[in-house]
Amino acid sequence: MQIVRYPLPEQWPSITERPYHDNRSLLASVKNILEQVQSDGDAALLRFAQQFDGAQLDVLEVPEEAFAAAAAALPEKLKAAIRDAAQNIEVFHAAQREAGQVVETRPGIRCWRKGVGIDKVGLYIPGGSAPLFSTVLMLGIPARLAGCREVLLCTPPAKDGSVHPAILFAAHVCGISRVFRTGGAGAVGAMAYGTQSIPKVHKIFGPGNQWVTAAKQLVQQEGVAIDMPAGPSEVCVVADADANPSYVAADLLSQAEHGADSQVLLLTDSEAVLTSVQAELGRQLAALPRADVALKALGGSRLVLLRNLDEAMELANAYAAEHLILQCRDAEQVATQVRSAGSVFIGPWSPESVGDYASGTNHTLPTNGYARAYSGVSVDSFVRKITFQQLSREGLEGIAATVTEMAEAEGLRAHAEAVRVRLR
């Protein structure tokens, strides 16, 4: 990892810079895939399953009996873990539902807001070497709590055409019965446009590789909503002299193993911690099954030594990490300084991995600095907030002069007349 000592503020932009990938040629390829899905529907998706996943499929939808088979195939301990995580996620997200509050802005004028679930949503779940069945819970549970009428899931098939049993079991736990064996940009296109088998949805959720991300960005330009811009995983750890170097190294590696394009950042005011973490990274890395992936990610990552913890927090806010871990004394107080982050992990007993799986918070979070303006997925992500108003004659009389004066000043006579006609 690159080591930076006592950087000046003008050097901070280079520290907060993410790995750059020129995706112009990728966008052209993704656009071609989307066009094929739009024109050929299921036939295109079946071709892509053969081309990209090595799977020969006759139909895209997972048959009903596969869910029972998946449950039977999974170890009981894993099923119990999935149910336990689902319970925590449900408890946290259920508290996000808002009861509509009626506000009387003046006598006779009642206004309120009501959350209504998005009718049709599509969830994308990555497969391959790391099938993210935990993401099924993170998306499926808030979708159900929000009251979405139709929830479908797309995920890449294995070479034998199957879907990982943990993905199917998690889908069943969430109440999702429609799962389709299609991945990558093609799956995004299917949910955006609809095919013979896959319904068109109103909003697409879920992480993915650069192909999936590019496809989501392109269909968004065509009017299909997406959860958020998303890129490679990232973590920033703020540590002082009280931090345990082995904990810090483990947290950094837990994100580095996601992919070669992931990025991890350590901000510390202790030279001793920086040196110890560097040694711990080497020791722990050697024991990881995905050490080659993590090692590539560390090559684009940084250890930064700063003058004090306040400076470290300023830089952390400038970085706006997907995951921010505070390993320092008075961590709860330090957390009050956080202005930009996807999710924050406070103190030595809060590893980032608990948020990924089972603490209850959502792990679908903004990356690449988007935490400056975007929130992570929540029940709100699956809801439209509709405003209502109801006026009595008294209420309209009380506001009539205000409305007609403003409407006439804007040159919109019909707006004013819509009030006057009622009061004549």
Residues with active-site annotation:
322-323
Q: How far is CA 81 from the centre of its chain?
A: 22
Q: Which helix (H) or strand (E) holds 391?
A: strand 383-391
Q: Is 375 annotated as a binding residue?
A: no
* Start-to-end Cα distance in the chain: 76
Sign of the C-alpha dihedral, residues 318, 319, 323, 328? negative
Region of residue 215 (left: phi > 0; alpha: psi -120 to 50; beta: else): alpha
48: how many CB neighbours lie within 10 A of its CB?
23
Contacts of 364 (CB under 8 A, 6+ apart): 135, 138, 139, 205, 206, 207, 227, 228, 230, 376, 377
Q: Is 56 annotated as a binding residue?
A: no
Q: Is 337 annotated as a binding residue?
A: no
Q: Is 21 annotated as a binding residue?
A: no
For 62-68, which contacts have Cβ atoms below 8 Å and span 24 or more sequence positions? Answer: 62/163, 62/168, 62/179, 62/180, 62/181, 64/177, 66/162, 66/163, 66/168, 67/168, 67/169, 67/171, 67/172, 67/177
CA distances from 331 to 204, 239, 334, 337, 415 (A): 36, 10, 5, 10, 55
Strand segments (E) across 59-208: 103-106, 109-117, 120-124, 150-155, 178-181, 203-205
Token readout for 396 is 């309209």
Indicate the SS3 state at residue 65. Answer: helix
Q: Which helix (H) or strand (E) holds 240?
A: none
Token readout for 279 is 């040694």
Q: How far is CA 152 from the centre of its chain?
A: 17
Annotated binding site for substrate: 233, 255, 258, 323, 356, 410, 415
